[in-house]
Chains A and B, each alone.
Chain A
């Protein structure tokens, strides 16, 4: 079983739609969960960072962690064409290295 699994998409939505991106993971020891955004040919950029279970909101973005199901989500409200990118979920191991999902490519059409 892969440590982190994420549907690569692509996901195409109209502008203004609510987007839901998800990852599952296998290691119950993970405590810190991140979402990175990566534009084409650029480095990953941290978008959201959550600890343990629960929700965290930042503007149009909400990150959700369900540790009992080993499932994390990122919701984007009122999606914009500028949100078109690849979204990577990641967890930090106890040694500090990041373990990434495959990344989901999102396209928001005007």
Chain B
């Protein structure tokens, strides 16, 4: 069964460093998402992406964050200068057509630890 994959599974970085989290969405999907979950808190929407453009972003997704689809398979989330409060699980998701009735499939997540 097709699945969303994410690498690395765990990333440790120092405050102020740049990190890139990678995702490979399901191959025929067109809509891509990043969510994050701070330990003990709810899963929060960060950004949605379609046709090489951001469709929607949350207040969390400030200028320190960017997303890119550098080729036909990868979808990346970059944090330019990490802060301690960026420590969280980051989940990538994809859906076939992005509609309100369309299922979003989640990857296993990347645990980001900022020290």
Q: Which of chain B's residues have a CB closer than 8 A to the CB of A92?
A: 100-101
**Interchain CB contact under 8 A, B42 and A44:** no
Given A41-B109, A96-B48, A98-B35, CB of A32 within 8 Å of CB of B42: no
Q: Which residue of B lies closest to A93 (CB)?
A: B100
Q: Does B33 contact A (CB under 8 A)?
A: yes
Q: Does A19 contact B (CB under 8 A)?
A: no
**Interchain CB contact under 8 A, A102 and B100:** no
Q: Which residues from 1 to 21 on chain B have a C-beta closer than 8 Å to any C-beta of chain A?
A: 4
Contact of A88 among B43, B101, B108 (CB under 8 A): B43
Contact of A44 among B31, B91, B99 (CB under 8 A): B91
Query: What number of B residues sit within 8 Å (CB to CB) of A?
Result: 30
How far apart are A62's CB and chain B's nearest CB, in angstroms? 19
Query: What number of A residues sit within 8 Å (CB to CB) of B?
Result: 25
**Interchain CB contact under 8 A, B101 and A51:** yes
Q: Does B68 contact A (CB under 8 A)?
A: no
Among A51, A92, A96, which residue has the most Cβ atoms of chain B within 10 A? Answer: A96
**Interchain CB contact under 8 A, B91 and A98:** no
Inter-chain residue pair count (beta carbon < 8 A): 64
Bound complex: CA A73 to CA B29 (Å): 30
**Interchain CB contact under 8 A, B103 and A96:** no
Q: Which residue of B lies closest to A43 (CB)?
A: B106
Q: Does A100 contact B (CB under 8 A)?
A: yes
**Interchain CB contact under 8 A, B103 and A49:** yes
Q: Which residue of A lies closest to B103 (CB)?
A: A46
Contact of B56 among A41, A43, A51, A95 (CB under 8 A): A95
Q: Mark B residues whose CB is within 8 Å of A.
A: 4, 31, 33, 35, 41-45, 48, 55-56, 58, 89, 91, 93, 95, 98-109, 111
Q: 8 nearest interchain CB pairs?
A: A43-B106, A100-B43, A97-B45, A92-B100, A102-B42, A43-B108, A44-B106, A96-B98
